[in-house]
Structure 1
Amino acid sequence: MVMTKRIKLRTLLMGGLITLLFAGLIFRVYWVQIYKGDVYLQHAMDTWITSETIPQERGMLLDRDGKVLAADAAAYTVAVGPKRIADLDKEHPEWKLADQIVAKLHSVLGTSEVKLREMITSKKEDGTYRDQREIRPDGWKIDKMVKDRLDLFREELRTLTGTKNVGLYFMDEQKRYYPNGSLASHILGYQNKEGDAIYGLEKRLDDQLSGIPGFIKYQKDGIRTQLPNGEVEAKQAVDGKNVTLTIDRDIQFYIEEALRAAYIEYDPVSITAIAADPDTMEILGMASLPDYNPNVYWETEDQNSFRDNAIQSLYEPGSTFKIVTLASAVEEGYFNPDDFYKSGSIKYTEKDRPVRDHNWTGWGEISYLDGLKHSSNVAFVKLGFEMLGKEKLVKYINDFGFGQKTGIDLPNEVSKTFSLNYPSEVATAAFGQGKVLVTPIQQVTAVAAVANGGKLMKPHVVKSISDPATGQKEVVEPEVIRQVISEATSRKVGEYLEQVVSDQVIGTGKNAYIPGYRIAGKTGTAQKVIGTGYSEDKYVVSFIGYAPVENPKIVLLVIVDEPQIERAGGGSVAAPIFKKIMEQSLLHLGIRKDLPDTIPTAINASAASSQSGDADVTATIPDVTGMTVAQAKKQLQQHSFPVGVLGSGGKVLQQLPKAGSVLPTSQQIYLLTDTKSGNVPSLKGLSLRDALEMCSLLQVVCTVEGQGYVTGQKAVKVDGKWTLQLTLAPPGETPEPSPVTEAASPEG
């Protein structure tokens, strides 16, 4: 009985326990399937669903003609498989697979062998080898050429081991590529390997260039294969917008080529150049050395190489700033080129030290036009301090855009405000020294206003932004800030500045002269401030100018900071660089070396009448270039023009004045039949521009006295070389020729 009761009790206990367990199981099933079913279903869905990013393409940066300056390109990241390599080396130690991979990656990528061995043997926290390890940074986003070298090596390992997986992998990536290397690097900036936009337009226009990545979500099985009937959600990537720049890649190349040659020759702290279209202030080219290659930005050690001196460096401008004072004085009616003053030195107040010309003793009593050619500081103290005065000078400095940012569409532009509180500050500012500090882009913008008829324009490097998906295009229009001087003043100043270059005896800009083109320009040589005073041997030298004078297409500035050469000056160092860039650029733009149009008809007619005493009948000059001399003479004589033939050739190569000009029929037409003629005909009655062109065609050095039209000429010897001295006067005046000027001194 006792045993029976125990068995029954155990049976009841066991049954009760099983019942409780079964009840718990039912409750758990209810809890999971019913009460928490949605939660667990979502967990399961998350496990089944995978998501992949669809990368977008960053917008391209193009030059004004559509040539690619920056674009996305295929790249690859190198990775190793520590676990796979360890397994293969364990099975076949004679292969020494790890050693071979370390040696090859060291050879191709440059990563140290110690670091590579750490990566190839890296383990997880539990002590087991990792499945994969990327070789960063050297193997990150490498070019296809580098990847191909490693791919050949991987094929050799596959042949050796007889297996496809040898523990060396390549992952497809995208990276930013700059096909022209360091060309325009300061304008473009770069995108680093992390995808961050650094410097330049890459940074400024990052929102426009970036685009938006897409994605795809789908259901998968345990081995990541997409389920055939599974749900799919996708969003297409939106590519970035393409940006067309105002930069002309060829002009940019001319600039950088010339700057690099000068950088090697003069070993300066920096050298900068900017070329722009003065009518629109579109930047055609802009560069500064030292620079960097955005494709391998990490190799640049000197941080100054990332500095864009064109918009980020402030300088005392020196004598190039005299263009501002000159234009202001012409606009106000104070500048009379034929007035005389005493050069050498001037005291603006009794107690202050005198301002001296760069040769200290000056050139005696000279005209203001000769003062401009000599770059006389005294002339500009008289113009700026005595004639204009503080209030007007400051007004024009501000109107020309100094002391304020230009607003160029590049990041990190700088500017510095100024105040002229003392007479000495006003006097020195008039010739580019002292309190007014400028950036190169400010100078180019100001001189462009002198060249284009007096309009201060906002400079820009972006020409248009287009959306490749919609085809919509946003065009950046030229923006006029204000009218600074009149068109008449602009024209006069251009003619004065032209003589700084064309006068091959006293013109400080003579080294910028390009035969066949009318060049206006000004040199600058500024002592650098060291502590509280000026250095005796450290200079910033520069040249700024534009061409052709009659219809300016390019304004160009060259600045060399501390050239390592004795007696460095803007005329000796910067002007030849300017000349090289300007000539290449003008030819590239299709601006031929040609004879300029003459002065308007009414003026020419009055000039001719004043010399002949009669009011001559006018006629249009026909085009006789390419004709035989006999044919040309016959054609011109039908219009009653007298003809002068220069050279012994049989055909007319060029004619002066140019075809299409309307002139009195008493005006002689010159026909050039060869380029070696040494005879100089009478140039009387010609305008300055025609006379200079004739001298250029005949390869004759000439000097100019006065303004207007040629009234006299004389051949003289200067330093053993024959020079043609031309005397000019306005219509109705015939002044006597003045004595020939001595050879030029170094510029200021």
Structure 2
Amino acid sequence: MNNYNLRIWTSFLLIFFLILIIIIRLFYIQVHSYEFYKKKSKYQQERIIKLSPKRGTIYDRNGEVLSVSLEAVSIYANPKKIVNETQVSEILNSQLGIPLSKTSSIVNYPGYFVWVKRKVSSEFKKKIKIPGIYFLPDTKRLYPNNNVGSQLLGFVGIDDKGLSGLEYHLNSDLSGKEGYMIIESDIKGRNIFSYDNKVVPAKEGKDVNLTIDKNIQFIMEEELEKAVESSGAKLGVAILMDVKTGEIYGMANYPSFNPNYFQSFPDQSVYNNNAVSMVYEPGSVMKLFTVAAALEENVIDADDEIYSPLRIMVGGYPIEEAAHAGAEKESPTKSISEVIVKSLNVGAAKIGMMLGKEKLYQYLNQLDFGKSTSIQLPGEMSGLLPPCQNWYQVDLSRIAFGYGLSVTPLQLLRAVGVFGNDGYLVNPYIIINNKKKTRRKVYSHKTVETMLSFMKQTVEEGTATKTKIKDYSIGGKTGTAILFSTVTNKYLVGRYNSTFAGVFPTSNPQFAMVVVIHDASKNKFASYSAVPAFKGITERVLRYLKINPQ
């Protein structure tokens, strides 16, 4: 073979191998790596826009809307299609209230998609018709009653996901199923779009019906605000429950906030639902359960008397009465009713010690102290009921009148409800058709009747006379407990949690209610802060529900 032919064959082989490499490469790209390049192409050409589903509506017990999603639009831009950046920037500023500095960055955005404004009125589709500005269907959450029930309901974020309250806890039910829309663009950024085959509609969320009555909720919040403001307190809580069923008619917190503008409240502690998250020593309200347990166990009788001086020592620690005028001249021999009516610390401590730690613990445990109610609300705390094996005698004496254990307002309400339900404990609930069948007998009918008479007497002539309502019988118990600091591990002298817990009407109890006023700067005692709030709410609820006078 001469040199000429060798060069031809060499060139041929080089061309052949080059073509073979190209074929192999094409095979690798088009067949072996087909899926990879297909995805890469789609990534470059397509943008998937999530479509929020219409969130379920939250209703009160009467079908009144508490939280609803309205039709809205979200506006986006394709800056490559905008012709006059300055003009468009000024239109977006004047129509949507977006600062010029931001509209300028929108119209000069280097990509093909940028949000202009989310969740605005559909009316803007008629007002803004500019090349490069587009609209997507969306929804906007509205709380038509503004602050009413704010901590209870909570709120949603820009992506329609619940961030607090029931909106958070029931998010999976309320939120529905997300849809999406695919926007394709060519090499020049022009949209290639067909609605029929590029949109997967969102699936609407489920509606929720609450046991709350919107009007009662409003009444409670208004009266609670008066009490907190007039006493210079840090916060207040009020909860109203049907004693027979456990339905919560109202759960009020103050201060409150407007969930339509939740971002405007820099102090995020205002979002807390203190009805379930506030843990505190309840003080003298616990005397109800100590005396009831002793009556149930026949340790005492309703007609007994007890030696209750102003001060005793237990385990080297003093137990003493709150100072009041003329106390030194009073006889230390007291009736059992006076332990409740006059709120005697020493009397309650002595009854607790007569009962014994095992029995007192048994009854407090049956009342579910130290256990959450499992109500369908986020942030619920369990409180604390220490095991009785760890109690010293002084612990027993203190727990008997409300120190040394901690509760939430809702737990306290659950327990007080037994005196309006013939001794049966029921679990509170807030979502209709989601009741837990919990009903447990704690006290006998005889014990309940005796305790109701003591509670009624407390209102008629004891520490809660400011609760009296003409032609209606109210029964309850005050509690003023010194605040304890977990930081200094000391009690804060002169600072209190004031509580009033009661049932009404006592002749045929329908409701139990707890009011807590936290850290008042004036009118510090329950008789002057929580009690007037309880009365204000009760009067208006009786009138609203048209419960006849007795």
CA distance in 1, matches of 2:260, 2:371: 34
1:625-656: CA deviation from partner (whole Å, max 9, x where unpaired): xxxxxxxxxxxxxxxxxxxxxxxxxxxxxxxx
CA distance in 2, matches of 1:492, 1:422: 30
CA distance in 2, matches of 1:171, 1:220: 17
Matched, 1:400 2:390: no
CA distance in 2, matches of 1:479, 1:202: 25
Q: Alpha-carbon deviation of 1:367? A: 2.4
Report SS of the residue matched to 2:317: coil
Q: Which of 483, 491, 497 does residue 528 from structure 1 map onto?
A: 483
1:140-178: CA deviation from partner (whole Å, max 9, x where unpaired): 323x2xx75x678x56xxxxxxxx526655543223322
Q: Which of 463, 468, 474 does residue 513 from structure 1 map onto?
A: 468
Tell me, yes or no, if the aligned pair for 1:73 and 1:174 is still in contact at 8 Å: yes
Tell me what 1:704 maps to: none
Q: Which of 118, 123, 126 does residue 140 from structure 1 map onto?
A: 118
Instruction: Quickly say closer, same or farther: Cα 1:223–1:404, change in 2 above 3 A.
Output: closer
Instruction: Quickly say closer, same or farther: Cα 1:358–1:317, change in 2 above 3 A.
Output: farther
Q: State the structure with more CA Rg.
A: 1
Tell me what 1:426 maps to: 396
Q: Alpha-carbon deviation of 1:541? A: 0.8
Q: Alpha-carbon deviation of 1:17? A: 10
Matched, 1:479 2:438: yes
Q: Alpha-carbon deviation of 1:285? A: 0.9
CA distance in 1, matches of 2:237, 2:206: 30
Instruction: Quickly say closer, same or farther: Cα 1:17–1:489, change in 2 above 3 A.
Output: same
Report SS of the residue matched to 1:534: strand
Tell me, yes or no, if the aligned pair for 1:280 and 1:478 is still in contact at 8 Å: no
Q: Which of 537, 543, 549 does residue 587 from structure 1 map onto?
A: 543
1:6-39: CA deviation from partner (whole Å, max 9, x where unpaired): xxx9xxx9xx999x99999999899989x95898
2:400 partner letter? A
Q: Alpha-carbon deviation of 1:520? A: 0.8
Tell me, yes or no, if the aligned pair for 2:183 and 2:192 is still in contact at 8 Å: no
Report SS of the residue matched to 1:304: helix
Tell me what 1:97 maps to: 87
Matched, 1:449 2:408: no
Matched, 1:489 2:447: yes
Tell me what 2:62 maps to: 65
Report SS of the residue matched to 1:140: strand
Tell me, yes or no, if the aligned pair for 1:274 and 1:444 is still in contact at 8 Å: yes
2:450 partner letter? K
Tell me, yes or no, if the aligned pair for 1:345 and 1:362 is still in contact at 8 Å: no
1:425 partner letter? D
Tell me what 1:56 maps to: 53
Instruction: Quickly say closer, same or farther: Cα 1:170–1:585, change in 2 above 3 A.
Output: same
CA distance in 1, matches of 2:274, 2:52: 36
Q: Alpha-carbon deviation of 1:53? A: 6.2
Report SS of the residue matched to 1:252: helix
Matches within 5 A, 1:251-400: 251-349=216-314, 351-359=316-324, 361=328, 363-364=330-331, 365-385=333-353, 387-400=354-367
TM-score, length-scaled by structure 2: 0.84
1:451 partner letter? G
1:108 partner letter? G
Matches within 5 A, 1:135-214: 135=116, 139-142=117-120, 144=121, 148=123, 154=127, 164-165=129-130, 170-214=135-179
Tell me, yes or no, if the aligned pair for 1:330 and 1:493 is still in contact at 8 Å: no
CA distance in 2, matches of 1:37, 1:388: 85
Tell me, yes or no, if the aligned pair for 1:527 and 1:536 is still in contact at 8 Å: yes
Tell me what 1:548 maps to: 505
How many residues were matched structurally?
A: 531
CA distance in 1, matches of 2:94, 2:183: 39
Q: Which of 521, 525, 538 does residue 564 from structure 1 map onto?
A: 521
Instruction: Quickly say closer, same or farther: Cα 1:36–1:570, change in 2 above 3 A.
Output: closer
Q: Alpha-carbon deviation of 1:43? A: 7.8
1:71 partner letter? V
Instruction: Quickly say closer, same or farther: Cα 1:357–1:21, change in 2 above 3 A.
Output: closer
Matched, 1:436 2:401: no
CA distance in 2, matches of 1:549, 1:320: 17
Q: Which of 77, 81, 88 does residue 84 from structure 2 map onto?
A: 88
Tell me what 2:529 maps to: 573
Instruction: Quickly say closer, same or farther: Cα 1:533–1:362, change in 2 above 3 A.
Output: farther
CA distance in 1, matches of 2:513, 2:195: 65
1:179-233: CA deviation from partner (whole Å, max 9, x where unpaired): 22222222222221123322222222222222223568999999736599xxx69
Identical pairs, percent? 29
Tell me, yes or no, if the aligned pair for 2:183 and 2:191 is still in contact at 8 Å: no
Report SS of the residue matched to 1:493: helix
1:314 partner letter? V
Q: Which has the higher contact order (CA 8 A, sep 6+)?
A: 2
CA distance in 1, matches of 2:236, 2:251: 11
CA distance in 2, matches of 1:315, 1:291: 20
Tell me, yes or no, if the aligned pair for 2:73 and 2:139 is still in contact at 8 Å: yes
Q: Alpha-carbon deviation of 1:98? A: 5.9
Tell me what 2:429 maps to: 460
Instruction: Quickly say closer, same or farther: Cα 1:211–1:66, change in 2 above 3 A.
Output: same
Instruction: Quickly say closer, same or farther: Cα 1:98–1:421, change in 2 above 3 A.
Output: same
Instruction: Quickly say closer, same or farther: Cα 1:497–1:28, change in 2 above 3 A.
Output: same
CA distance in 1, matches of 2:374, 2:191: 57
Q: Alpha-carbon deviation of 1:62? A: 1.6
Report SS of the residue matched to 1:576: helix
Matches within 5 A, 1:94-133: 97=87, 100-101=90-91, 104=94, 108-109=97-98, 111=99, 113-122=100-109, 124=110, 130=111, 133=114
1:83-135: CA deviation from partner (whole Å, max 9, x where unpaired): 566x436xxxxxx6367347536x835x5x4444433433x2xxxxx555324
Instruction: Quickly say closer, same or farther: Cα 1:362–1:302, change in 2 above 3 A.
Output: farther
What RMSD in Å do the two structures reach over aligned CA positions?
A: 3.9
1:461-520: CA deviation from partner (whole Å, max 9, x where unpaired): 1113xxxxxxxxxx535422x32111221222112211111x2xx411111111121111
Where does structure 2 lack aligned partners over 5 or more consecutive residues? Answer: none
Tell me what 1:77 maps to: 74
CA distance in 2, matches of 1:536, 1:88: 69
TM-score, length-scaled by structure 1: 0.63
Instruction: Quickly say closer, same or farther: Cα 1:546–1:223, change in 2 above 3 A.
Output: closer
CA distance in 2, matches of 1:30, 1:407: 65
CA distance in 1, matches of 2:422, 2:37: 73
